[in-house]
Amino acid sequence: MTARRHIAFPVAEEMLFGTLDQAMGGTGLLIVTGGNEIRAGAHRGMALLARRLATTGTPVFRYDRRGVGDSGGRNGGFESAREDLLAAAAIFRANAPQVKRLVGFGNCDAATCLAWWGREAGCDAVILANPWVVEGSSTLPPRAAIKAHYLSQLRSPSAWKRIATRGLSPRKLIAGLHRLAVPEIEEDLTTRTMRAITDWHGDATIILAESDGTAVAYADAARRAGIAPRTVTIPTGSHSFARPEDGEALEHAIRTVLSEL
């Protein structure tokens, strides 16, 4: 059994809380959570992952950003999380001084946060799962996700039956098809994220949940941007890799990156 410590640290006059799973390895994993997810992760997935990695020698630190979980303050979203990330990396190194190489891992908007500011936080490499590349103001899913969804629906006889019996909302169908028909304007967030991933120069690994809408949107944006970082695709629609086999595949991909540093 590895030792697990809870650590409080200040950010912008607020107190944040993190958890360190201690180990003596020289490569550490910093887990950044996204959205409103607490540091334990969906179904405690990140807590379990941290314990397993620590058992085999990798120290792991995860934390709640401001306004989430145990941490104080207001949750301003990932675009306001730079200071949280930098402080978490610093407190991790202070409490695990044997760590010489640091890998950041995040899912969804936490992945985007790491793409933007991971270098500044001192990460040597990042693992970005389902990076968020769509402006949050839209009330519809990403264009690429809509396209994939409706192409799948329109190939399905049962979908046409639902349309005929009004089980599939005509309003949603029309709104989705309209968005496909209107040329998409490149989003500032998308451009910034694609550039940030490119700037990692091979030190970024992308992990995608194959049929997850956020992953589909990222894959479309990367294709249009002409970038092809190392990518691991896991055959699941679970955004949080919730199924046991998804979690195992995610852990394998993370261990692969850790072993290369």
CA 133, CA 220: separation in Å to the nearest integer?
10
pLDDT band at 172 (very low <50, low <70, confident <90, very high): low
- State what percent of residues in the chain have pLDDT above 70: 80
CA 86, CA 78: separation in Å to the nearest integer?
13
Predicted confidence (pLDDT) at residue 155 exceeds the cutoff of 70? no
Mean pLDDT value across residues 79-89: 97
**Residue 188 has what pLDDT?**
83
DSSP 147-158: HHHHHHHHT-HH
In 3D space, the residue among 74, 77, 22 whose CA is nearest the CA of residue 53 turns out to be 22
Lowest model confidence (mean pLDDT) among 21-30, 40-49, 169-178: 169-178
Helix (H) or strand (E) run with residue 195 in it: helix 188-198
pLDDT band at 169 (very low <50, low <70, confident <90, very high): low
Predicted confidence (pLDDT) at residue 243 exceeds the cutoff of 90? yes
Residues in contact with 47: Cβ distance below 8 Å, sequence separation at least 6, in sequence order: 19, 39, 40, 41, 62
Domain boundaries in the chain?
Answer: 4-135+187-260, 143-181
Say how many C-beta atoms besides its own lie within 10 A of residue 14's C-beta. Answer: 16
Please classify residue 228 by burial: count the beta carbons closer than 10 Å to its beta carbon, then call 0-12 exposed, 13-18 middle and 19+ buried.
Answer: exposed
Predicted confidence (pLDDT) at residue 144 exceeds the cutoff of 70? no
Predicted confidence (pLDDT) at residue 215 exceeds the cutoff of 60? yes
Sheet-wide strand order for 60-63: 4-11, 14-21, 60-63, 27-32, 101-107, 125-129, 204-209, 230-234
**Residue 236 has what pLDDT?**
97
What's the CATH code, domain 4-135+187-260? 3.40.50.1820
What does pTM read for this prediction? 0.81
> Cα separations (Å) of 201 from 3, 89, 255?
35, 21, 20
Mean pLDDT, all residues of the chain: 88
Helix (H) or strand (E) run with residue 17 in it: strand 14-21
Angle ∠(51,73,36) on CA atoms, nearest 5: 50
Residue 160 DSSP symbol: H
Predicted confidence (pLDDT) at residue 136 exceeds the cutoff of 90? no
pLDDT band at 187 (very low <50, low <70, confident <90, very high): very low
134-198-206-25 Cα dihedral, nearest 10 degrees: -130
